[in-house]
Amino acid sequence: MENGGIEEADDALPVPAPPNGRRYRPVGSSDRAVIQMTSMEPGSSSATIDAVVTPQPPRNMKPDANLTIDPSMREGSPDDHDTSSGSQGDSKLELFGFDSLVNILGLKSMTGEQIQAPSSPRDGEDVAITIGRPKQSGPKFGTMMGVFVPCLQNILGIIYYIRFTWIVGMAGVWQSLVLVSFCGACTFLTSISLSAIATNGAMKGGGPYYLIGRALGPEVGVSIGLCFFLGNAVAGSMYVLGAVETFLDAVPSAGLFQKSVTVVNNTLVNGTETAGTSTISTPSLHDLQVYGVIVTILLCFIVFGGVKIINKVAPAFLIPVLFSLLCIYLGVFIAPRHNAPKGITGLSITTLKDNWGEDYQRTNNAGVPDPSGSIYWDFNALVGLFFPAVTGIMAGSNRSASLKDTQRSIPIGTLSATLTTTAMYLFSVLLFGALATREELLTDRLLTATVAWPAPAVIYIGIILSTLGAALQSLTGAPRLLAAIANDDILPVLNYFKVSEGSEPHAATLFTAFICICCVVIGNLDLITPTITMFFLLCYAGVNLSCFLLDLLDAPSWRPRWKFHHWSLSLVGALLCVVIMFLISWSFTVVSLALASLIYYYVSIKGKAGDWGDGFKSAYFQLALRSLRSLGANQVHPKNWYPIPLIFCRPWGKLPENVPCHPKLADFANCMKKKGRGMSIFVSIIDGDYHELAEDAKTACHQLDAYIDYKRCEGVAEIIVAPTMSDGFRSIVQTMGLGNLKPNIVVMRYPEIWRRENLTQIPSTFVSIINDCIIANKAVVIVKGLDEWPNEYQRQYGTIDLYWIVRDGGLMLLLSQLLLTKESFESCKIQVFCISEEDTDAEELKADVKKFLYDLRMQAEVIVVTMKSWESHMESSSSGAQQDNSHEAYTSAQQRIRTYLDEMKETAQRERQPLMENGRQVVVNEQKVDKFLYTMFKLNSTILRYSRMAAVVLVSLPPPPLNHPSYFYMEYMDLLVENVPRMLIVRGYTRDVVTFFT
């Protein structure tokens, strides 16, 4: 069209008087009802929107083209586009009032990619929108190098080489198996919880901090995240000390200071004191300190090279480690070799039986059994010593920003590394228990090197490279974790560690190295490990608790791709973490919890609020406990969004008086809620005076309550008395609900009876209701074919077809997913039809929509359908092109509209006044009306062509055009739903109800 729409004019004709019957308040020209956004095509420079949004221009637009008020979209505005620009900027898809999916801007704006800061934009804030493919900020890695190798390097550390055989000798075989299984179960359950949260949306840098913070809120996230950072930093010092200690044992001449010599006169073996004297030499504390500081500095230089350099170096550390493990196993199977110590018996059932039971005893600081030793070991103490050997499962998630596909790599890589190392530890317990006597297990600090084939030097190299590789991973993950916390801008004190996208966290790396060096100066490996264990366990408990809360609440936004999880597993994992913490040391546990509590308190006071839609707010929604005070009336985050339908029970008054609501409306309301959870508001309007009909309203409310209970639908009943249906609904939409518990979706039946029953007052009421919903920013779902809607026992097959034409905040996608959770539709599949115009790149649009649905964890087939433009239709009509089979309904609607328009003109001429409808002056642009009709006709033809056998069809609802007579709009809608047995006509609102993120 050239001019755009129905235009106001001074020479308009009067409208005929309305027919006898109930009068309705008309929607006046001052009622701003339509929120429209033009498709950002070449040549289009503006759009009508309801808030101030300043997106970046698409590639084919000028940089200074912003979204501003477009007078051409205001029907009735005298400042329309001229004829020359009308064909380019006036797209038929604009009739639906939001951005067309053809416009990539509309698609990207729903993904949240425009958000620069981690917190959601507030009303009135400018939001930058990035058009096109996101820039690759750095190297991206897959499952093997990005997750599996870092986890393996962290897990296969110093504990296995120099402490594991000693643990087997102290705890015995069976308790060592219990110990490994106990600790392995904790990390395995944590890995499952981590996999579930990591696959519930796009994951940025920060690893477990990002997951916990987005699930439990910024206060909990920052407190646990900082503790986990300290744990990683301290773990780096543990690995450095292990490497240095092994090096000095292998090369004694490298020591700068005199060794520490411990002389033990008596030892304990199997509870019996054995006479004899043994001398144990250990590296000097000063040597450990000097070499440890030097190694830490050298590792920092490697870390400064970035993730790409680290991943190139990682195989050089890992391959010798794997080779050393192979040498250990070969040495075990061929033992005893010549000149082997007497205590190495080789694999023997007798030795295994001797070592089956535990033998806890006192030791000196070197770990040698000594009756007068100062340290007494038991199972609890061994848990604290061994648990760092199974940590490292977060190494891959710590580098989430550098992964190609976090939703695939983190679960596979983490679980593979966890299962591989746990199986290796269990197998090693049996091997070491059958390999040597208990005395040899307890006194030989490097038994793995003693038995290795062909020489102990291989093991020394393996130990050094293993510990250095683990230290490198710790020094890589910890700074990125700290930088991620700083970038979220929650704590101003951490601003020094902020980094720009794609940059290396040099300041955070220096700070991590400083902490590592401070711990290296301590020089006591056994003192450091319990501290690391507490911090890691605290983080693991946070991950399990986050998954437990999200899985238990089961909000619509909780749709993880990882299906092998359950809230009970997460709860067991969290309890295991707490039990292990108290088993190790209740004093260390209290200190770590106190530290986390202090950080939490500091963040709650000094930190900035981050609107991440945490799980606690979802709990407030479900429990209705302090929800209004906690959430207020602010905009609900998409993760916490719940459908609260307002069910319009008797809008058209054609039910028997003793039937309070259509029998299928409650069934449909339950289909809009996940597992039936959530509140519904059932509303009915009684025409008349409230003073006279108050008692009747109470009676009707009791009947409606009984109906809701009978249908087992969670909801409340409300009866409104108002002079007219339109007035009553306008009152409801303004006042119903409280705070964030206000209804957000209006559900009603499509008025299929209006033409059959000749109810001429229905069009104006129908248009008034939709306009009121748009003004109040309420979503609308209109059910066509409600009589045929299936109940819970009628299973449907086929497809659920979505004709996703405009950006509706994802409501149509969410409704289709909610339908699949019901037994009636669980056998159906989803098809998404994207309507585009002829000049659209269909393959690019299809790829974008597929990527968008993948990131939303939604399984659907995407089909792009091209519709002929209005201008092409006019050309084909003039050239005598063949029409569709359903063209008869289109021509009949045209004829009825012309007849109605002629009657309006005759009445206006007779009464000598402009065209009027319900007291409102209108000017009809007949070409614009034909364009609306043609759009509805082509969309209906497309639906009948592709979705005739669909279980249900969902299509976008076009808003009533300003200044169009209500009768015309009903003709448009009738043409849209023609011959479609079951349809949901959906209009979202400006708020998103789906999100990529956890």
Query: 208 falls in which pLDDT band (50, 70, 90)?
Result: confident
Query: 63 falls in which pLDDT band (50, 70, 90)?
Result: very low
CA dihedral in degrees (738, 741, 744, 747; nearest 10)? -90
Amino acid type, 481: L
pLDDT score recorded for residue 33: 38
Instruction: Tell me the three state secondary structure of residue 963.
Output: coil
Strand order in the sheet with 680-687: 715-722, 680-687, 645-648, 745-749, 779-784, 983-987, 952-956, 799-804, 829-837, 861-867
Model confidence pLDDT, tens digit, residues 65-114: 443 434 444 444 444 444 444 444 455 566 666 556 555 444 544 544 44
Contact by Cβ (8 Å): 460, 385: no
More confident residue, 90 or 29: 90
Least confident of 13-22, 511-520, 599-608, 881-890: 13-22
Beta-carbon contacts of residue 401 (< 8 Å; ≥ 6 apart): 204, 205, 206, 480, 484
Model confidence pLDDT, tens digit, residues 422-475: 999 999 999 999 999 998 898 887 888 889 888 888 888 888 888 888 788 788
pLDDT score recorded for residue 190: 92
Mean pLDDT (the chain) is 76
Residue 146 CA to residue 143 CA, distance in Å, equals 5
Residue 237 CA to residue 207 CA, distance in Å, equals 21
C-alpha distances in Å from residue 855, one per residue of 70, 111, 180, 723, 859:
33, 9, 37, 49, 10
pLDDT score recorded for residue 187: 92
Model confidence pLDDT, tens digit, residues 614-648: 666 666 666 655 556 665 656 666 666 778 888 88
Nearest to 929 by CA among 987, 975, 883, 885: 975
Contact by Cβ (8 Å): 96, 73: no
Check whether domain 641-784 has CATH 3.40.50.620, yes or no: yes
Instruction: Write 370-379 long-range contacts (CB < 8 A, 24+).
Output: 370/264, 370/266, 370/267, 370/268, 371/266, 371/268, 371/273, 377/170, 379/171, 379/175, 379/179, 379/583
- Give yes or no for residue 738 having a pLDDT over 70: yes
Residue 664 CA to residue 648 CA, distance in Å, equals 12
Strands 260-269 and 779-784: unpaired
More confident residue, 892 or 45: 892
C-alpha distances in Å from residue 850, one per residue of 87, 113, 814:
30, 16, 16
Model confidence pLDDT, tens digit, residues 227-285: 888 888 888 888 888 888 888 888 888 878 766 655 555 555 555 555 555 555 667 88
Q: Which two tokens stand for residue 454?
A: 């062909």
Across 299-324, average pLDDT: 81
CATH topology of domain 796-874+928-997: Rossmann fold (3.40.50)
Query: Cβ atoms within 10 A of the Cβ of 616, count?
Result: 15
pLDDT score recorded for residue 127: 40
Percent residues over pLDDT 90 in the chain: 12
Q: What is the number of residues in the chain?
A: 998
Listing DSSP states for 497-554 in one string gives G---TT---HHHHHHHHHHHHHHHHH--HHHHHHHHHHHHHHHHHHHHHHHHHHHHH-
- The domains of the chain are located at 155-207+236-267+277-527, 641-784, 796-874+928-997
Across 291-308, average pLDDT: 86
Across 120-147, average pLDDT: 55
C-alpha distances in Å from residue 529, one per residue of 350, 584, 947:
34, 11, 63
Query: Cβ atoms within 10 A of the Cβ of 664, count?
Result: 18
Residue 179 CA to residue 699 CA, distance in Å, equals 67
First to last CA, the chain: 45
* Residue appearing with tokens 């066509």: 784
Supply the pTM of this predicted model: 0.65
- Give yes or no for residue 54 having a pLDDT over 50: no
pLDDT score recorded for residue 103: 56
More confident residue, 598 or 206: 598
- Give yes or no for residue 14 having a pLDDT over 60: no
* Angle, helix 525-553 to helix 586-606, in steps of 10 degrees: 60
Residue 49 CA to residue 28 CA, distance in Å, equals 20
Listing DSSP states for 112-136 in one string gives TTT--SSSPPPTT-------SSPP-
* Top-confidence range, 17-26, 281-290, 699-708: 699-708
- Farthest-apart Cα atoms in the chain, separation: 127
Dihedrals φ, ψ of 186, to 5°? -60, -50
H or E stretch at 384: helix 379-386
Across 655-682, average pLDDT: 77
pLDDT score recorded for residue 56: 44
pLDDT score recorded for residue 100: 61
H or E stretch at 182: helix 164-198
Percent residues over pLDDT 70 in the chain: 74
Query: 165 falls in which pLDDT band (50, 70, 90)?
Result: very high
More confident residue, 678 or 870: 678
Least confident of 293-307, 602-616, 708-722, 758-772: 602-616
Residue 129 CA to residue 655 CA, distance in Å, equals 49
- For residue 18, cis peptide bond before it (omega within 30 degrees of 0): no
Same fold, 641-784 and 796-874+928-997: yes
* Top-confidence range, 105-114, 916-925, 934-943: 934-943
Query: 929 falls in which pLDDT band (50, 70, 90)?
Result: confident
Beta-carbon contacts of residue 394 (< 8 Å; ≥ 6 apart): 194, 207, 208, 228, 477, 536, 539
Least confident of 79-93, 193-207, 480-494, 819-833: 79-93
Residue 519 CA to residue 233 CA, distance in Å, equals 9
Contact by Cβ (8 Å): 920, 28: yes
More confident residue, 722 or 604: 722
pLDDT score recorded for residue 424: 92
Residue 379 CA to residue 99 CA, distance in Å, equals 64
- Give yes or no for residue 728 having a pLDDT over 80: yes
- Give yes or no for residue 665 having a pLDDT over 70: yes
